[in-house]
Amino acid sequence: MQHWELLVFFFVIAFVYASVGFGGGSSYLAILALYAIPFQEMKLTALICNIVVVTGGTLVFLKNKQVDWRKILPLIITSIPMAFLGARLKLKEDVFFVVLGCSLVIAAILLWIKVKAGKMADKPNVFRDAGLGGIIGFLSGMVGIGGGIFLSPLLNLAGWDTSKKIAATASLFILVNSLSGIAGQLSGISAGLDYTHITLLAIAVLAGGQLGSWLSAVKFDLLVVRRMTSLLVLVAGIEVLIKHLHLFR
């Protein structure tokens, strides 16, 4: 395997994200974008690593009855087919990287914003949630992320529910969108992908994710963690755009 340091990077990302209930897809892509990794392999790797990291956390949220199915269904019912369609969309490599760069910059801004702990909204807004789920799902499928990095801060800003229930919702949202995104990619996956590389990275995030979940009782300064991650994602997004915006010249 080339670039053995990626195993360390992915382990650390999974550890940090699992400790706060996320999968880390945007940061995996941010790291992979800095290397000469084929873009199809990047998308598949990020989604597989997402699934590995968030599955355990999602099961814990379900066991503790933190998932409000009545409120979450409008989000995931629209996001699942839209993530599939987004993943099926055939993008040229340069176009993909421009979309990825813009997505990373937006994600960095959302991560940087300090939001207050979620307070339950007076009334659920089914149409808003369905539209939000569909838009984020489609973008997630195109880029190769689970979408939680967009969904969670937006739900907090909207006062959608308590922080714990938003974290549970984001975890399940990431899981179903990642599965849907992989399903959408299946027909376009080339035979030349390095599955050994993907497997090793999945093992690294499994170890990091399990450790992060186990140590989730440790009180991290979540704002500091989010803003450090935000800077990483922002730098990667800007670098991707600088390299690929020549498409529009």
CA 178, CA 46: separation in Å to the nearest integer? 9
Entry pTM: 0.84
pLDDT of the residue at 84: 94
CA 47, CA 44: separation in Å to the nearest integer? 5
Q: Which two tokens stand for residue 156?
A: 């907090």
List pLDDT tens digits, range 58-112: 887 888 888 889 899 999 999 999 999 999 988 887 888 888 888 888 888 887 8
| 97 touches 39 (CB < 8 A) | yes
For the cut 70, the answer to whether the pLDDT of residue 218 exceeds it is: no
CA 32, CA 27: separation in Å to the nearest integer? 8
Q: Which two tokens stand for residue 125?
A: 């807004």
If we measure between CA atoms, which residue out of 42, 56, 44 comes closest to residue 14?
A: 56
CA 107, CA 30: separation in Å to the nearest integer? 11
Look-up: residue for tokens 């940061």? 27
CA 7, CA 241: separation in Å to the nearest integer? 25
For the cut 60, the answer to whether the pLDDT of residue 173 exceeds it is: yes
Give the three-state DSSP class for 245: helix
CA 93, CA 75: separation in Å to the nearest integer? 29
